[in-house]
């Protein structure tokens, strides 16, 4: 199958692309710059051979520019949408870098492009159906998304999910927990403090429960979705690691695996938001009050729906996943590099 991955150069998109390629499919890796995408994929051992045999191709398109998406979605069997604005979760409304504009709006633009290219027929008021050959649509959502969640990232993703589910396409939505692995921008950032501080700061009291998921498991699941149109059809699948743990336990385990002894310094969220209110206006926008909330939220995946569809799918235990890349001989930023 030919699979368009929107956000292929990102942390999640790289893993998804690798696993989909590994399952024998053709990947059309989408980025705002095909040249940049090709350079990013050069680092992957399997990429060169795939490019040579035509199983890995690159396309330039921007989810906020509808016209650019028409060529990207042409001739594919599956579209995987995992594009996110640079700097997330710190929004920049002035530059249009928000969950609403890039995540929700970008998803709507992809659906519109599919509708244009595959000429959806109107079957009745508010109903759309696509001719055979229209792609299936997979979306990378978040574990905290629900109808009643009020935060902007949850609202944007809820609305994107709703549009996908009402599109008339076959779809699957993966509601991923916090993902970690080589080259991630979140856990690695927290652990990075231990390079130069005698403690590691965490917003809040760190007791919220999480089911952090290894990024390899995210990629593996999407490859299974591509492979299995029956099991993946119209499925909403929360995804997370096998056991809920607190943020304190997660960061503590990672430090232990790295062989570092550092206490966790709990920064009360209201206190963290004071510098964040200023930092959001500095170049690079390192933090914002919203990002303090985003990074300290809990989120536990109910794996029931996933196991119903894919009974043999197991996610990696947290410690084993951390040990696979954080040991003393490993680097936090390998496998694709930091963004
Ligand atoms: N990371 C997590 O823990 C996690 C957990 C749950 C859900 N998710 C969701 O997973 C998705 C991917 O997250 P991520 O962590 O992989 O993000 P990421 O590493 O920041 O990657 C973002 C990707 O989006 C692309 N992109 C940015 N702006 C774009 C635009 N206007 N048009 C087209 N592509 C654009 C980037 O490509 P170029 O720069 O090459 O254009 C990049 O490939 C997001 O929807 C996120 O909410 C992530």
Is residue 96 included in any domain, yes or no? no
Give me the torsion for CA of 153, 166, 28, 31, rounded to 10°: -30
Write the DSSP assignment of 225-282 as a string of letters.
Answer: HHH-HHHHTTEEEEE--SS-EEHHHHHHHHHHHTT---PEEEE-HHHHHHHHHHHTTS
Q: Which atom of ligand 1 is nearest to the CA of 62?
A: 32
Is residue 72 included in any domain, yes or no? no
Cβ–Cβ under 8 Å, residues 110 and 79 = yes
Gap from CA of 8 to ligand 1 centroid (Å): 8
Is residue 273 included in any domain, yes or no? yes
pLDDT-derived band of residue 299, with 50, 70 and 90 as boundaries?
very high
Using CA atoms, how far apart are residues 112 and 189, in angstroms rounded to an integer? 36
Is residue 236 included in any domain, yes or no? no
H-run or E-run covering 165: helix 152-165
Q: Which of 66-80, 257-271, 318-332 has the lowest mean pLDDT?
A: 318-332
Closest CA to 4 of 23, 20, 15: 20
Mean pLDDT computed over 183-209? 92
Q: Please name the residue whose Cα sits nearest to atom 35 of ligand 1.
A: 83
% of the chain exceeding 90 in pLDDT? 79
Residue 68 — φ and ψ, nearest 5°?
A: -70, -15
Cβ–Cβ under 8 Å, residues 336 and 40 = yes
Q: Which atom of ligand 1 is nearest to the CA of 339?
A: 19
Using CA atoms, how far apart are residues 83 and 140, in angstroms rounded to an integer? 9
Gap from CA of 162 to ligand 1 centroid (Å): 20
Is residue 9 included in any domain, yes or no? no
Write the DSSP assignment of 97-132 as a string of letters.
Answer: BSIIIIIIHHHHHHHHHHHHHTTPEEEETTEEE--T
Gap from CA of 164 to ligand 1 centroid (Å): 18
Residue 140 — φ and ψ, nearest 5°?
A: -95, 105
The pTM of this model reads 0.94
Cβ–Cβ under 8 Å, residues 264 and 199 = yes
Is residue 310 included in any domain, yes or no? no
Ligand 1 pocket list (CB less than 6 A): 6-13, 31-33, 36-37, 62-64, 82-86, 88, 102-103, 140, 142, 176, 178-179, 339
Is residue 145 included in any domain, yes or no? no
Q: Please name the residue whose Cα sits nearest to atom 21 of ligand 1.
A: 10
Q: Is the pLDDT assigned to residue 178 strictly greater than 60? A: yes
Residue 301 — φ and ψ, nearest 5°?
A: -85, 130
| Domain harbouring 258, CATH code | 3.90.25
Q: Is the pLDDT assigned to residue 61 strictly greater than 70? A: yes
Number of domains, the chain: 1
Is residue 287 included in any domain, yes or no? yes
H-run or E-run covering 192: helix 187-192
User: What pLDDT score was predicted for residue 339?
Assistant: 34
Give me the torsion for CA of 16, 20, 23, 24, rounded to 10°: -150
Cβ–Cβ under 8 Å, residues 191 and 258 = yes
User: What pLDDT score was predicted for residue 334?
Assistant: 45
pLDDT: which is higher, 98 or 335: 98
Q: What is the mean pLDDT of the chain?
A: 92
Gap from CA of 9 to ligand 1 centroid (Å): 8
Mean pLDDT computed over 288-296? 86
Highest mean pLDDT among 119-128, 189-198, 271-280, 311-320: 311-320
User: Which residues form the domain of 268?
Assistant: 180-213+241-300+316-339
Gap from CA of 82 to ligand 1 centroid (Å): 5
Tokens of 3: 């699979």
% of the chain exceeding 70 in pLDDT? 96
User: What pLDDT score was predicted for residue 2?
Assistant: 98
């Amino acid at each position: 199958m030919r699979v368009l991955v929107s956000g292929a150069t990102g942390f999640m998109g790289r893993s998804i692309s690798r696993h989909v390629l590994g399952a024998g499919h053709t990947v059309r890796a989408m980025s705002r710059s095909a040249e940049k995408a090709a350079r990013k994929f050069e680092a992957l051992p399997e990429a060169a051979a795939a490019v040579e045999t035509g199983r890995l191709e690159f396309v330039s398109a921007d989810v906020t520019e509808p016209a650019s998406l028409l060529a990207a979605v042409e001739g594919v069997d599956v579209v995987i949408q995992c594009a996110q604005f640079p700097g997330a979760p710190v929004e920049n409304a002035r530059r249009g870098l928000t969950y609403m504009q890039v995540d929700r709006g970008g998803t709507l633009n992809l659906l519109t492009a599919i509708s244009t290219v595959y000429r959806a027929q109107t079957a009745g008021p508010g109903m759309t159906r696509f001719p055979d050959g229209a792609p299936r649509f997979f979306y990378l959502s978040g574990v905290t998304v629900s109808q009643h969640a009020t935060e902007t990232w949850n609202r944007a993703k809820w609305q994107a999910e709703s549009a996908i589910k009402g599109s008339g396409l076959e779809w699957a939505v993966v509601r991923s927990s916090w993902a970690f692995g080589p080259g991630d921008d979140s856990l690695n950032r927290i652990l990075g403090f231990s390079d130069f501080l005698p403690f590691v700061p965490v917003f809040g009291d760190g007791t919220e429960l999480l089911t952090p998921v290894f990024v390899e498991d995210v990629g593996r699941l999407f490859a299974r979705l591509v492979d299995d149109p029956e099991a993946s059809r119209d499925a909403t699948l929360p995804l997370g690691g096998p056991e809920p743990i607190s943020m304190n336990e997660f960061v503590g385990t990672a430090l232990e695996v790295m062989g570092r002894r550092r206490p966790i310094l709990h920064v009360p969220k209201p206190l963290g938001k004071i510098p964040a209110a200023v930092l959001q206006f500095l170049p690079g926008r390192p933090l914002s009050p919203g990002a303090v909330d985003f990074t300290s939220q809990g989120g536990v995946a109910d794996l029931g729906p996933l196991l119903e569809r894919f009974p043999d799918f197991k996610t990696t235990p947290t410690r084993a996943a951390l040990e696979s890349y954080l040991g003393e001989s490993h680097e936090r930023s390998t496998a694709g590099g930091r963004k």
